[in-house]
Amino acid sequence: MLLLADPMALASEIDPILHVDLVHVGRFGVGVGRAHWQGGAGTHVPSMVYSGREGEPKRDDPLQQHSSRTACQGRNPDCTSRSGSTTGHHAALATGEANRIKRGKPMQVATTTTTAFCAHPHTKPSSAPFLRLSLPCRVSFRASLRPNLRATAMAATSQQQKQLVITRPDDWHLHVREGGVLEAVLPHSARHFGRAIIMPNLKPPVTTTARSVEYREEIMRALPPGSSFVPLMTLYLTDNTSPEEIKLAKKSGVVFAVKLYPAGATTNSQDGVTDIGKCLPVLEEMVRQEMPLLVHGEVTDPHVDTFDREKVFIDRILAPLVQKLPQLKIVMEHITTMDAVNFIESCEEGAALLLEWPYTFALFNGYNTFMFPGHVAATVTPQHILLNRNALFQGGLQPHNYCLPVLKREIHRQAIVSAVTSGSRRYFLGTDSAPHDKRNKECFCGCAGIYSAPVALSLYAKVFEEAGALDKLEAFTSFNGPDFYGLPRNTSKIFLRKSAWKVPTTYKHSSGEIVPMFTGSTLDWLPSDQPEE
């Protein structure tokens, strides 16, 4: 991690090709930024956000002496200097001369700013009053040195790779339903996944530990003979869930998380949370029990555009919640936007907490600095890294590509692909495989959900191969999830062979059929428990 009292010190710390996230500590605030260097031995100082405090001048900021202008002057209501969700009272984006300071050979530099969770004049206040915080606040930020992978060269190498051997993956977001559908779909997940977080949105939902234990027994009875698959159960959070239920869930040894569905957000979510403030005692108990909160991150406000619901949820609910309960482990499920990526990155593991403490010995210019573990992560589905919203309409309305959260623009898909193939530990596999009978998808009010369990591993391999990042696939599928949950990694292996296979058009169940993702298509990677002969 680079903690810079003098940004110019960066020049001696970096390699020719790096992505570097920076934290600059000033007397009255914290500056954060990200830079991409490419080229010779010189360097540029990147643009940085200076987050000051209410009523305090922006003096003692080293970047100010090099800046000929700022993009945000104090409380100017007309300021438009936001990049992503840059925040902080009196935020100033240092530009001008700061970007032109260099040593040695000129280089190309591109800078962006990232999220800090201070109140900003442009940010809509939280809709949950109990979550609002006063300044001074904490600013968390990740610092990492990542090599810039050459996707083209890696893709060429992968063409010669006929087989991948990876640790058996887990699915950290799975729907298996009940009855005949459960019996039909469970073998598809159990064949290649070691464990799965089982979603609780049944009819009625799984709201108690006792019901969770019963549901687990149903799943175990439906497993194929000899299967070692382990279902990891969850509770469905409601306005009436009690802290005592969380204690029972932890003690049971079979419940591993609690799922937050905003009421009305998705399938069978009508019993979900209507007011996050009502759940505060439960969330505090979850911190004590070290039980993660799994979040369906969408608001249900009818005045919010469907395609903006994830971003608004982050701004109004999730970011304030992370501030209020920074030790609560949170998984943002099935992320769909670059806004979610920016949020996850700002909370990433390995962040530093920089907090002014004027009455103690200062480590860095009047600030105490210490590290804390990451508590926010995300699952990523195959559909949200392969499809954009055009897939809903190409060749007519496509109900089997309809899911919630709904598919987004191509720019968002690309942002998620970049994040998951970067090697970051904060993203892991969660298929959100959601089987529905074909008749319930192809009707006047079709169900939301994509059935991906039979094809998920093949599709993830496709994405990582195209990104030139097959070397990052195993961590995403098999390591990052158990590491976040504090569970051991699987010890068995599976094989992904470069062998074309055709996806069946449907899968039968007791009273109908289910259409899988990429139905009838030919895929290049074939999962197997046996190596290629």
Q: Which of the residues are catalytic?
A: 173, 175, 259, 296, 334, 432
Neighbours of 249 (CB within 10 A): 26
Neighbours of 458 (CB within 10 A): 21
Instruction: Tell me the residue ranges of DSSP E strands in 47-174.
Output: 49-51, 92-93, 102-103, 108-112, 139-141, 145-146, 163-167, 171-174
By C-alpha distance, which of 403, 378, 519, 408 is closest to 459?
A: 519
Rg (the chain; Cα; Å): 24
Whole-number Å distance between alpha carbons of 317 and 294 = 14
Write a three-state SS string for 430-470: CCCECCCCHHHHCCCCCCCCCECCCCHHHHHHHHHHHCCCH
- Phi and psi angles of residue 166, each rounded to the nearest 5 degrees, phi first: -130, 155
Q: 236: which 2 tokens? A: 């469905």
> H-type helices in 256-367, by residue range?
280-289, 309-313, 319-324, 338-346
Instruction: Tell me the residue ranges of DSSP E strands in 284-432.
Output: 293-295, 330-332, 352-356, 367-371, 376-380, 427-429
**Is there a contact between 400 and 441 (Cβ–Cβ < 8 Å)?**
yes
Q: 309: which 2 tokens? A: 């619901």
Whole-number Å distance between alpha carbons of 117 and 322 = 9
Whole-number Å distance between alpha carbons of 23 and 2 = 7
Q: What are the residues facing 428 on neighbouring strands?
A: 379
Percentages helix, strand, coil for the chain (3-state, rounded to 5) are 30, 25, 50
Whole-number Å distance between alpha carbons of 140 and 354 = 8
**Is there a contact between 110 and 35 (Cβ–Cβ < 8 Å)?**
yes
Cα separation values, 95 from 3, 46, 100, 466, Å: 20, 9, 9, 36
> H-type helices in 120-190, by residue range?
151-159, 179-190
- Phi and psi angles of residue 532, each rounded to the nearest 5 degrees, phi first: -70, 135
Q: What are the residues facing 368 on neighbouring strands?
A: 355
